[in-house]
Chains A and B, each alone.
Chain A
Amino acid sequence: MADEKLLPMSEGLVAFITEWKKKPGNLIMVLHKVQEEYGYIAGEVAIEVSRMLEVPLAKIYGVATFYHLFTLKKPGKNKIAVCMGTACYLKGAQDLLDELDTILSCKAGEKTADDMFSVAGVRCIGCCGLAPVMTINGKVFGNVKREQLPDLLAPFQNAK
Chain B
Amino acid sequence: MAYKNFALVCAGTGCHSTDGQEIYDNLIASAEKHGVSGDVQVVKTGCFGFCEQGPIVKVLPEESFYVKVKATDAEEIIAEHIVKGRAVDRLLYKEPGSKTAGKIEDMGFYQKQLRIVLRNCGLINPENIEEYIAREGYQALGKVLTEMTPEDVINELKTSALRGRGGAGFPTWMKWNFTKQVDGVDKKFVVCNADEGDPGAYMDRSTLEGDPHSVIEAMAIAARTIGADQGYIYIRAEYPLAIERLEIAMKQAREFGLLGDGILGTDFNFDIEIRLGAGAFVCGEETALLASIEGERGIPRPRPPFPAVKGLWGRPTLINNVETLANIPMIILKGGEWFASIGTKDSKGTKVFALTGKINNSGLIEVPMGTTLREIIYDIGGGIPNGKKFKAVQSGGPSGGMLTAEHLDTPIDYAGLQALGSMMGSGGLIVMDEDDCIVDVVRFYLEFAVDESCGKCSPCRIGGRKLLNIVERMTAGTATEKDIQNIEDISDAMKKASLCGLGQTTPNPTLSLLRYFKDEMLAHVKDSTCPAGKCKDLVKYTIDAEKCIGCTLCARRCPVGCISGGKRELHVIDQDACIKCGECFTACKFDAVLKG
Chain A nearest CB from B374 CB (Å) reads 21
Chain B neighbourhood of A26, CB < 8 A = 295
Q: Are B357 and A90 in contact (CB under 8 A)?
A: yes
Instruction: Please encode chain B, from 291 to 313, with 1 for each CB lying within 8 Å of some chain A CB and 0 for all others.
Output: 01111111000000000000001
Total A-B contacts with CB atoms under 8 angstroms apart: 136
Chain A neighbourhood of B454, CB < 8 A = 66
CB nearest to B361 among chain A residues? A129
Chain B nearest CB from A71 CB (Å) reads 10
Instruction: Please encode chain A, from 75 to 114, with 1 for each CB lying within 8 Å of some chain B CB and 0 for all others.
Output: 0000000001111011100000010001000000000000
CB nearest to B364 among chain A residues? A129
Q: Are B278 and A25 in contact (CB under 8 A)?
A: no
Question: A152 on the interface (CB 8 Å rule)?
Answer: no
Chain B neighbourhood of A130, CB < 8 A = 14, 17-18, 51, 54
Question: B22 on the interface (CB 8 Å rule)?
Answer: no
Question: In the assembly, what is the distance between CA of A70 and CA of B279, in Å?
Answer: 8
Q: Are B430 and A86 in contact (CB under 8 A)?
A: yes
CB nearest to A66 among chain B residues? B297
Q: Are A125 and B581 in contact (CB under 8 A)?
A: no
CB nearest to B430 among chain A residues? A86
Chain B neighbourhood of A27, CB < 8 A = 295-296
Question: In the assembly, what is the distance between CA of A91 and CA of B436, in Å?
Answer: 10
Question: B202 on the interface (CB 8 Å rule)?
Answer: yes
Q: Are A129 and B17 in contact (CB under 8 A)?
A: no
Chain A neighbourhood of B239, CB < 8 A = 126
Q: Are A128 and B362 in contact (CB under 8 A)?
A: yes
Q: Are B278 and A67 in contact (CB under 8 A)?
A: yes
Binds A, one of B192-200, B344-352, B474-482: B192-200
Q: Are B14 and A63 in contact (CB under 8 A)?
A: no
Chain B nearest CB from A105 CB (Å) reads 13
Question: A142 on the interface (CB 8 Å rule)?
Answer: yes
Question: B358 on the interface (CB 8 Å rule)?
Answer: yes
Question: B513 on the interface (CB 8 Å rule)?
Answer: no
Chain B neighbourhood of A142, CB < 8 A = 14, 17-18
Chain B nearest CB from A50 CB (Å) reads 13
Question: In the assembly, what is the distance between CA of A86 and CA of B198, in Å?
Answer: 9
Chain A neighbourhood of B54, CB < 8 A = 129-130
Question: In the assembly, what is the distance between CA of A122 and CA of B520, in Å?
Answer: 29
Question: A8 on the interface (CB 8 Å rule)?
Answer: no
Chain A nearest CB from B393 CB (Å) reads 11
Question: In the assembly, what is the distance between CA of A66 and CA of B313, in Å?
Answer: 21
One of B199, B276, B298, B436 near A32 (C-beta < 8 A): B276
Chain A neighbourhood of B125, CB < 8 A = none
Q: Are B13 and A90 in contact (CB under 8 A)?
A: no
Q: Which of B423-451 contact A (CB under 8 A)?
A: 428, 430, 432, 436, 441, 444-445
Question: In the assembly, what is the distance between CA of A142 and CA of B18, in Å?
Answer: 8
Chain B neighbourhood of A29, CB < 8 A = 275-276, 295
Question: B394 on the interface (CB 8 Å rule)?
Answer: yes
Q: Are A67 and B279 in contact (CB under 8 A)?
A: yes
One of A62, A123, A125, A126 near B297 (C-beta < 8 A): A62
Question: A127 on the interface (CB 8 Å rule)?
Answer: yes
CB nearest to A94 among chain B residues? B444
Q: Are B52 and A90 in contact (CB under 8 A)?
A: no
Chain B nearest CB from A21 CB (Å) reads 12
Question: A149 on the interface (CB 8 Å rule)?
Answer: no
Chain B neighbourhood of A155, CB < 8 A = none
A32-B237, A86-B394, A129-B363 are known contacts. Are A70 and B356 too (CB-CB below 8 A)? no
One of B51, B280, B430 near A68 (C-beta < 8 A): B280
CB nearest to B363 among chain A residues? A129
Question: In the assembly, what is the distance between CA of A13 and CA of B363, in Å?
Answer: 39
Chain A neighbourhood of B279, CB < 8 A = 67-70, 123
Question: A116 on the interface (CB 8 Å rule)?
Answer: no
A63-B296, A123-B279, A129-B14 are known contacts. Are A86 and B397 too (CB-CB below 8 A)? yes
A67-B278, A69-B237 are known contacts. Are A90 and B432 too (CB-CB below 8 A)? yes
- Tally chain A residues at the interface, Cβ within 8 Å: 38
Q: Are A126 and B205 in contact (CB under 8 A)?
A: yes
Chain A nearest CB from B75 CB (Å) reads 23
Question: In the assembly, what is the distance between CA of A32 and CA of B275, in Å?
Answer: 11
Chain B neighbourhood of A85, CB < 8 A = 199-200
Question: B559 on the interface (CB 8 Å rule)?
Answer: yes
One of B201, B280, B293 near A25 (C-beta < 8 A): B293
Chain A neighbourhood of B198, CB < 8 A = 124
Question: B238 on the interface (CB 8 Å rule)?
Answer: yes
Q: Are B362 and A87 in contact (CB under 8 A)?
A: yes
Question: In the assembly, what is the distance between CA of A23 and CA of B274, in Å?
Answer: 12
Instruction: Please encode chain A, from 15 to 59, with 1 for each CB lying within 8 Å of some chain B CB and 0 for all others.
Output: 000000001111111011000000000000000000000000000
Q: Are A124 and B200 in contact (CB under 8 A)?
A: yes
One of A24, A62, A127 near B294 (C-beta < 8 A): A24
Chain A nearest CB from B65 CB (Å) reads 16
One of A68, A98, A129 near B356 (C-beta < 8 A): A129
One of A91, A98, A126 near B202 (C-beta < 8 A): A126
Question: A131 on the interface (CB 8 Å rule)?
Answer: yes
Q: Are A123 and B199 in contact (CB under 8 A)?
A: yes
Instruction: Please encode chain B, from 164 to 203, with 1 for each CB lying within 8 Å of some chain A CB and 0 for all others.
Output: 0000000000000000000000000000000011111110
CB nearest to A36 among chain B residues? B237
Q: Are A28 and B394 in contact (CB under 8 A)?
A: no
CB nearest to B447 among chain A residues? A84
Chain A neighbourhood of B293, CB < 8 A = 25
Chain B nearest CB from A93 CB (Å) reads 10
Question: B141 on the interface (CB 8 Å rule)?
Answer: no
Question: In the assembly, what is the distance between CA of A113 and CA of B458, in Å?
Answer: 39
Question: B332 on the interface (CB 8 Å rule)?
Answer: no
Subset of 27 A-B contacts with CB under 8 Å:
A25-B294, A25-B296, A27-B296, A28-B292, A32-B237, A63-B297, A68-B280, A69-B237, A69-B238, A69-B279, A87-B200, A87-B430, A90-B432, A91-B357, A124-B198, A124-B199, A126-B14, A126-B239, A127-B14, A128-B51, A128-B200, A128-B354, A130-B18, A131-B356, A142-B14, A142-B17, A142-B18
B residues whose Cβ falls under 8 Å from a Cβ of A? 13-14, 17-18, 51-52, 54, 196-202, 205, 237-239, 273, 275-281, 292-298, 313, 354, 356-358, 362-363, 394, 397, 428, 430, 432, 436, 441, 444-445, 454, 559, 581
Given contacts A28-B292, A126-B14, 13 further A-B contacts (CB under 8 A): A28-B278, A29-B275, A66-B280, A67-B278, A86-B428, A86-B445, A124-B238, A126-B13, A127-B14, A128-B51, A130-B17, A130-B51, A131-B356
* Pairs A-B, 8 closest by C-beta atoms: A129-B51, A140-B17, A68-B279, A67-B278, A69-B279, A85-B199, A126-B202, A86-B200
